[in-house]
A and B are shown apart, each in its own frame.
Chain A
C-alpha cells in the first residue's frame, strides 16, 4: 500500500502540490486527472524522489520514502515511465531490456562474460511479449513508432520488478485509436503483473472506462476521489474541470 500524507511542494510562491493526502491500495488501478499545470507530474516526481517535498510523508508498505534518493526509491519498488519516453535511441528493444535486467541483477559492471548477463533473457522476453514488443526486439529504439517508444519506456520500468508503477500520460501524443490500444496494454499488464498502477490521463472517455478509481487534482489540491460514477456526478469536479477539459480536448 502506498500512503501519501499532507504532501506539500512549493516552487517559490506556487504550491504545485498543496497538502495532498491519498492512498493507493496494493494491486489497484488508479487514474489521476486534472487540468494542465494541476501538479500531476510534480506529484509523481515527489513520489519517485526526483523532487523533494517541503513537507509530508510518502509511505510504501510501512517504509518512509521521503528523504531517500531516487535510486533507493527505485530499489524499494517504485517504477515510472515518463511523459516523454525516456529510452536508449541506439539500442534495440531487446538490448534495452537486457541492459535493464543486467542492472537489476547487479551485473551491469561485469567485464567478464558476455552480454546479455546471465539469467536475464527470460524476464526480458516475458516483458517484451507482454507489451507486444517481442516482434520488434531487433529494432533500434530510435526507429520505433512513438507508441512503441512509450511502451518500451514502460517495459524498462517493469524490468526492475516494481511494486508500484507510475505512468505519466502513457497516451500522450497519440491518435484516438492508438490511445485505446495503449491503455488496453496498460490494463492488461496491471491484470497480469498484479502490481499497483497509477496513470495520468487527459482523455475522459478512457479514464471513465478503464480506471476503477479516479483522483482529481486541481491547483495542486486533491479536489475529489472516487469511482467513475462518483467523479462524473461530483459538482466540484464538473465546475472546476470537466467543463473545460472537453473543450481542451477538442483544441
Chain B
C-alpha cells in the first residue's frame, strides 16, 4: 500500500471535511444528510472491525456488542445523569474500553473459530441483558422518551445540520486516529501477528498484549459509531446489540475489502446505497443482499478495494522481477 505522509492524510481529511461541510448548502435533501450521518455511524463501526479482522486477523462475530454498548451507555447517561454531551461521550468511550479489556482478556487468546464464537456469546449476553432489564433499558421497545440533547459549545444536536456536522467531524477524526493506529509500529506488529504469530513472539513481541490492545481500541471506535446512531434515532434499540449488527459489519468489510484502510468505508457507502435502493424497489431485501454476499464471498473472494490493491501489487512485483532478470542477463 502506498504510504502517505501524515501531512497528506491530514490534507485529505480536511478536504473531505470541507466537502461534507459544504454539502448542505448545495442540497436541501434531508435524505442525503441522513445518509452521511448513517455512513458515519456504520463507517466507524466497520472500520474498527477491520482493525481486528484485516490488520489483526481476529475475526470477531460479536463486534456489534460495542456498537450497542456505545448507543445504550450514551443514551442512558444522557437520560439519567444530565451530564453534558461531551462528558457523556467520553464516559461512553471509557465504559467501552473497560468492557473491551475484560472481554478481550478472555477472548484474544482463543484460536480463530473459538474467538469468533466467544465474542458472539458475549454479544448475545449483552443483547439478552438489554431485552430483559426492562426498567433500565425499556426492553424490546428500546430507550423510551428520546435522548436529551442539551446544547454544548453552541452545538445543538437536536438541530439536524448540527448533528450532521458533528457526525462528519467524528467520522473524519475517528478515521484519522484509526489510520494512525494502522500505520504506527503497533499497526505493523499487528499485521505480523496476523501473518505468523509464532514468529512474531519469537521476535520478542508480547502477542497477547498487542491483540488485547487492538481489541480494546476497536471496541472504543465501534462504540463511537453506536453513539452517533443513538443520537440519530434519539434512542437505542436491542437490535444495535444483536448479532445481525455484527453480521452487517462483517458484510461491509467483505464488500469493501479488508486490505485497504478505506475499504470498509467504501463497503459502508455501497451497503447503505444498496439498502436504500433495494428496499425501495422490492420487499425482498434479504434475498438481494444474500445474493450479493454470495457473489462476493464465493464468486470474487475479495472486496472491491482488494482488487485494486492486488492489481497494483502484481504489477509492481512483475516490474521488479523483470528488472532483476534484466540485471541478471547483463
Q: Point out residues on A near B: beta carbons under 8 Å.
A: 70-71, 74-75, 86-91, 95-96, 98-100, 102-104, 107-117, 135-136, 138-140, 143, 156, 159-160
Contact = CB atoms under 8 A, between A and B. Distances in A.
Interface in B181-205: 181, 183-189, 191-192, 194-196, 198-205
B195 A90 contact: yes
Contacts of A160: 203-204
A112 B184 contact: yes
A114 B317 contact: no
Interface string B167-181: 000000000000011
Nearest to B199: A86
A88 B196 contact: yes
B205 A138 contact: no
Contacts of B184: 110-115
A88 B316 contact: no
Contacts of B23: none
Contact of B185 (A86, A117, A135, A156): A117
20 contacts: A70-B201, A71-B201, A74-B202, A74-B204, A88-B191, A99-B188, A102-B185, A102-B188, A108-B210, A109-B205, A110-B184, A110-B185, A110-B186, A113-B185, A114-B183, A115-B187, A135-B323, A139-B320, A156-B199, A160-B203
B209 interface: yes
A91 B195 contact: yes
A91 B203 contact: no
Contact of B192 (A71, A75, A88, A159): A88
B151 interface: no
A88 B275 CA distance: 38
B204 A107 contact: no
Interface string B310-330: 000100110011011001000
Nearest to A153: B199
Given A143-B317, A160-B203, A109 B210 contact: yes
B199 A88 contact: yes
Interface string B122-143: 0000000000000000000000
A89 B206 CA distance: 20
B204 A104 contact: yes
A71 B207 CA distance: 12
Interface in B278-330: 313, 316-317, 320-321, 323-324, 327
Contacts of B192: 88, 91, 96, 99
Contacts of B195: 87-91
A185 B203 CA distance: 23
- Which 7 pairs of residues, A with B, have the shortest CB-CB distance? A88-B195, A103-B203, A108-B189, A117-B185, A110-B185, A102-B185, A115-B188
B196 A87 contact: yes
B6 interface: yes
A74 B199 CA distance: 12
Given A114-B183, A114-B184, A86 B204 contact: no
B213 interface: yes
Contact of A70 (B191, B202, B210): B202
